[in-house]
Structure 1
Amino acid sequence: MLPFKCAPWLARNTSIVVLAAGLAGCSSQPSSTAQVSCADIAYSVNDPAEPFNRGVFAFNRVVDNYALAPVARGYRYLPDFFQTGVHNFVENFGEPKVFINDVLQGNPRRSVNTLGRFVLNTTVGVVGLIDVSGMVGIPRHDADFGQTFGVWGIGNGPIVELPLFGTSNSRDAAGRVLGFVVDPFGSHSDTADTLSTINTVGGIVDGRAEALPLTDSLQKLPDYYSALRNVVAEHRSAYVADGKQGSPDNTKPQCTGAPADGF
């Protein structure tokens, strides 16, 4: 059992970003085909290529230990207002893709909620640096293409460990690729390119910094690979369940955490 508090977080489409939330009241078994349950959600973790995945995981850990994690730790020493601004900007920049997935999942109320948040935060909130929508009580929710595929009934598929992109199942990996292809902002101006670059860099660093408490704890366990793999799988199951539930009041299934990209 992993004693971490559950909290929602933005789905990242950037490299080696892990989930930034924990799992209270959840259990997992670190085996190549583990049964994992989270509240009333039960599912299988299918890892037939575990030896190969562990090799890629070792490479990803070296990249993280010597590049990304040190930067993220330094970032956490910056003033809170700066970190909050970066986090809000990244979340707002991702709202158009959330909106697209809300529509694809057939949830008009969530679609309107997301569109309203984006318009308000982009204008009054100064391109999203200030979460005005949250201040006035418009809740945020997450959605990505992997979740949409799950809502459509597509199964998880086997676990895949991707270089730099981390732990995923094949369904979510395909959704991540589609997330790269779909660009609501396009690349039609220098301003759009600049904002996209800022979002990418900010999303990687902010996301990794938010994940530090969880990954630091998981690394103390005997088998970091299986622990992280199962936490990622555990979250994604709850995340798909949330998409199917689609409640406009942002109610989450118990133990729903961050959309997970593991490494």
Structure 2
Amino acid sequence: MKPSPAAILCLALALGACAREASKPRQVAQNGTLPPVVVTGAPTDPTDPFEATNRRILDFNFQLDDAVFKPVAKGYRAVLGPWPRQRIRNVLDNINEPAVAANRLLQGKPIEAGTSVMRFVINSTLGLGGLFDLAPIGGPPKQVADLGQTLAVWGLGDGPFLMLPVVGPSNPRELGG
């Protein structure tokens, strides 16, 4: 049974970050499990006032990664080769371009906003719906901008470190963004 394109796109949305980043090696106990996180009562870092909770959530995330995300990501990579994975990534990046343009405009950067709009139009038409990124052959360059960056430009501080279940590390500004 061959997976449908819709199922592949949903899987790509769920695993986009997992497939892009190489996992860093972690210290594993001799029995093959991760050592438990030792949590002390008082935080050791003033930028992490929720250290005890953040450590518990990090441990949960590692266990979830090992039990669910890693096997699914390996299956995704086994089913789809590099070429279709890159096409999926290109489409997802192209879908994000209007948000990048809006954030560049809100940051007071109209030239960069125009570049993102041009990139979206060119990749959506000549790039066949975003399947192909034309930046390597002279198309508009890719930019990265999100609401968290926009809020930073507006002067909002980042706040304390937060480890979120499934999502990973963040802070209140980036979480709101």
Matched residues in 2 for 1:172 and 1:93: separation? 20
- Residue 32 of structure 1 is matched in structure 2 by 45
Moved over 6 A (4+): 13-16
Mean Cα displacement is larger for which, 95-104 or 76-85?
76-85
Q: Give me the TM-score of the superposition, normalised by structure 2.
A: 0.72
Structure 1 distance, partners of 2:67, 2:132, is 32
CA contact (8 A) 1:156 1:171 kept: yes
Q: Is the 8 A contact 1:16 1:165 kept in 2?
A: no
**Corresponding position: 1:163 with 2:158:** no
Deviations 1:24-62 (CA, angstroms, capped at 9, x unpaired): xxxxxxx624xxxxxxxxxxxx10110011111111222
2:80 paired with 1:67 = no
Contact 1:160–1:167 (CA under 8 A) maintained in structure 2: yes
Within the candidate set 66, 89, 92, 1:90 is matched to: 92
**Aligned residue in 2 for 1:173:** 175
Letter in 2 for 1:74: G
Distance 2:150 2:131 in 1: 27
Pick from 107, 122, 126 the counterpart of residue 120 of structure 1: 122
- Partner amino acid, structure 1, of 2:123: N
Correspondences of 1:107-256 after superposition (within 5 Å): 107-175=109-177
1:15 deviation in Å?
8.4
Greater Cα shift, 138-147 or 160-169: 160-169
Residue type of the partner of 1:113?
A: T
Report the Cα distance in structure 2 between the residues aligned to 1:20 and 1:159, rounded to whole angstroms: 21
Partner SS for 2:90: helix
Residue 76 of structure 1 aligns to a residue whose secondary structure is helix
What are the ranges of 5 or more consecutive residues in structure 2 without an aligned counterpart?
Answer: 1-12, 23-43
1:166 Cα deviation (Å)?
1.5
Residue type of the partner of 1:72?
A: A
Letter of the 2:74 partner, please give it.
R
2:119–2:139 contact (8 Å) kept in structure 1: no
- Quick one: distance in 2 between partners of 1:118 and 1:159? 34
- Percent identical pairs in the alignment equals 39
Of Structure 1 and Structure 2, the greater strand share is in: 1
The amino acid that maps onto 1:168 is: S
